[in-house]
Chain A
Amino acid sequence: MTAAVAASGLAVAYGGGRPALERVEFELAAGSSLCVLGPNGGGKTTLFRALTGELAPLRGTVSVAGGRPAYLAQTERTRLDFPVSALDVALMGSLANGRWWLPARRSDRATARAALDRVGLADRAGDRFGELSGGQRQRVLLARAIVQDARVLLLDEPLAGVDPASAERIERLFGELRDEGRALLVSTHDVDSARAFDRVLCVNHDQIAFGAPADVLSREVLERTYGAEIVVLDEPGPDGTVRAVTVQHHHHDH
């Protein structure tokens, strides 16, 4: 198995303080998906920042195969008042080719249009990014990652506040991207949705567990991950794993 993403003994800190996240150890194969579960401030976004290279490891190592990973922020954290169209945002993916000082080429525009078509937004290419729905904005950012041709995609709570129809479309796209051999790392609060991933990583400052969903999604692991922020339901899910809902107040993670 070729690891698309790997972390070994990873510890990450902000500004020389105590580690915000430590003892992280996992490998993810190309063409597979990882769900990162954890409470607010538990280190999910910190892990992504280490994987993009924004934060250097305090200890341990991280490796990402195939060049820079694409990072898709929660879309409400983007500047929604900034006047750019959906096509402009998708076209930003071509910056990864270098040549940032030159205008986009005609072939880049064609690639960006094709990527928007693929995420089902060809007819919204000229619409203002900030005026699209949350789910549509997430799909535009996926189009940007497709133009970037990233082999590894890091998605920060991509389904938060997204309507069911858009969520279904995004999950279908995840499957397609995985089938193309890309690795997907998705942070979420939705414990139920974690079952659809190949691997689950639970973090709460420390790594709590890593493995297949059926092995990881136990009452004990979830309670250690979320503490008082979780209610584990008595009735098990269809695959025998526990069902649980998180009861956190939404605020921005580290």
Chain B
Amino acid sequence: MDLLEPLQSGIERRALAEVVLLGAFCGAFGCWVTTFRLSYPAESLAHGLLPGLVVAALAGIPLLLGGVAGVAVAALAVAVAGRDARVGSDTATAVAVTGLLGLGSLLALTPDAPARLEELLFGDPLGVTDGDLAAAAALALAGGLALVALHRPLAAVALDAGGARSLGISATAVRFALLALLAAALAVAVQGLGSLLVLAVLIGPAVAVRGHFSTPGRSMAAAAVVAALAGVAGIYASAWLGTAAGASVALALCAAAALGALVRGVAGRRAAASPSP
């Protein structure tokens, strides 16, 4: 097998650039998503934004705009559904998101729909355009700067929201900033990985590095590297095995999470077995 073979094709070069850019930001950002226990909301928004993508595909406007609108509608639907305390917000969210996913599928399966449903659901890194790459680069740059600026407030709120408040840091504002970044990350990353698999790049690397590093900054750097490497591994696997690129990347990211958990488990058992000093 020729390691450089995928690099000789413009399509695969673009796919590699896309997964590296998305991985660098989403991997690092995912550490905060998991720390603030936003995995379920992230999954809900990712699945719920499908109608936005489909409408954009039908109308012939950029999918990125559809993704942004889809996230906004999904967030609104989840917020409205969650108002009924008798049902409970998790159940209401599940109903709202399933409804949006159903609506997106219904729209995508109309006879005149130009986009294939599976590309929107499962992504197609091999189909990314120069515009998608530019969006991923902008996300990596602007999102990365936002993470640097927010690092100290995020850490203070993550440790102790009450204490952070007495330092002048509003936990509500910090969570709002996180959700805004989450919406931006989903709207951009969904172009490459699809509505159903995009969560893998946010959660997988963060799970892989959890507990292995002594500071949030090191965890984020490691998660960014893990995400980028897993993305590259997925594209290579897709090129060599002829598998679907989006699914290959998602599986590589989840394999990294499983490997990280395995190493954590072994290290934990060794620490428990060794006599304390």
User: Which residues of A come within 8 Å of B, CB atoms?
Assistant: 49, 52-54, 68-73, 77-79, 81-85, 88-89, 92-93, 95-96, 98, 100-101, 103-104, 128-129, 141, 144, 148, 150, 154
Given the complex, which residues of A lie within 8 Å of B214, measured CB to CB? 83, 85, 128
Asked whether A84 and B155 contact (CB < 8 A) given A73-B160, A79-B160, A101-B150, the answer is yes
Contact A92 B162 (CB under 8 A): no
Contact A71 B165 (CB under 8 A): yes
Given the complex, which residues of A lie within 8 Å of B219, measured CB to CB? 83
Contact A82 B167 (CB under 8 A): no
Q: A85-B214, A95-B152 are in contact. List 17 more A-B contacts (CB 8 A).
A: A49-B162, A52-B165, A52-B166, A53-B165, A54-B165, A68-B168, A71-B162, A78-B160, A79-B35, A82-B159, A88-B155, A92-B156, A92-B167, A95-B167, A101-B150, A144-B163, A148-B167
Indicate which residue in A68, A79, A129 contacts B166 across the interface (CB closer than 8 Å). A68
Contact A95 B158 (CB under 8 A): no
- A88, B211: Cα distance in complex, Å: 17
Asked if B127 is at the interface (CB within 8 A of a chain A CB), the reply is no
Given the complex, which residues of A lie within 8 Å of B216, measured CB to CB? 82-84
Contact A69 B166 (CB under 8 A): yes
- A82, B36: Cα distance in complex, Å: 11
Asked if B266 is at the interface (CB within 8 A of a chain A CB), the reply is no
User: Which residues of B come within 8 Å of A, CB atoms?
Assistant: 35, 149-153, 155-156, 158-160, 162-169, 211, 213-216, 219
Given the complex, which residues of B lie within 8 Å of A128, measured CB to CB? 214
Asked whether A70 and B166 contact (CB < 8 A) given A84-B159, A100-B153, the answer is yes
Task: Indicate the member of B160, B165, B169 with the most A CB atoms within 10 Å.
Answer: B160
Asked whether A104 and B152 contact (CB < 8 A) given A79-B160, A88-B215, the answer is yes
- A49, B163: Cα distance in complex, Å: 11
- A100, B164: Cα distance in complex, Å: 11
Closest CB of chain A to B262's CB: distance in Å?
19
Contact B169 A77 (CB under 8 A): no
Given the complex, which residues of A lie within 8 Å of B151, measured CB to CB? 103
Chain A residue with the shortest CB-CB distance to B149: A101
Closest CB of chain B to A235's CB: distance in Å?
39
Given the complex, which residues of A lie within 8 Å of B160, measured CB to CB? 73, 77-79
Contact B215 A54 (CB under 8 A): no
Indicate which residue in A98, A101, A141, A154 contacts B168 across the interface (CB closer than 8 Å). A98
- A143, B147: Cα distance in complex, Å: 26
- A144, B164: Cα distance in complex, Å: 11
Indicate which residue in B35, B149, B153, B162 contacts A95 across the interface (CB closer than 8 Å). B153
Closest CB of chain A to B232's CB: distance in Å?
27
Indicate which residue in A71, A83, A100 contacts B163 across the interface (CB closer than 8 Å). A71
- A81, B29: Cα distance in complex, Å: 18
- A53, B214: Cα distance in complex, Å: 33
Given the complex, which residues of A lie within 8 Å of B162, measured CB to CB? 49, 52, 54, 71, 73, 77
Which 10 residue pairs of A and B lie closest in terms of their CB atoms, listed nearest first? A71-B166, A101-B149, A95-B167, A78-B160, A96-B167, A92-B156, A73-B162, A100-B153, A52-B166, A82-B159
Contact B152 A96 (CB under 8 A): no
Closest CB of chain A to B117's CB: distance in Å?
40
Given the complex, which residues of A lie within 8 Å of B163, measured CB to CB? 70-73, 78, 92, 141, 144
- A67, B188: Cα distance in complex, Å: 42
Given the complex, which residues of A lie within 8 Å of B168, measured CB to CB? 68, 95-96, 98, 100
Closest CB of chain A to B194's CB: distance in Å?
32
- A81, B219: Cα distance in complex, Å: 13
Given the complex, which residues of A lie within 8 Å of B158, measured CB to CB? 79, 82
Chain B residue with the shortest CB-CB distance to A45: B162
Contact B167 A83 (CB under 8 A): no
Contact B167 A93 (CB under 8 A): yes
- A54, B159: Cα distance in complex, Å: 17
Closest CB of chain A to B151's CB: distance in Å?
8
- A72, B162: Cα distance in complex, Å: 8
Closest CB of chain B to A84's CB: distance in Å?
6
- A89, B152: Cα distance in complex, Å: 10
Chain B residue with the shortest CB-CB distance to A104: B152
- A159, B35: Cα distance in complex, Å: 28
Chain B residue with the shortest CB-CB distance to A75: B160
Contact A79 B167 (CB under 8 A): no
A-B residue pairs in contact (CB < 8 Å), sample of 21: A54-B162, A69-B166, A71-B163, A73-B162, A73-B163, A77-B162, A78-B159, A78-B160, A79-B160, A83-B213, A83-B214, A83-B215, A85-B215, A92-B152, A93-B167, A95-B164, A95-B167, A98-B168, A101-B150, A104-B152, A129-B159
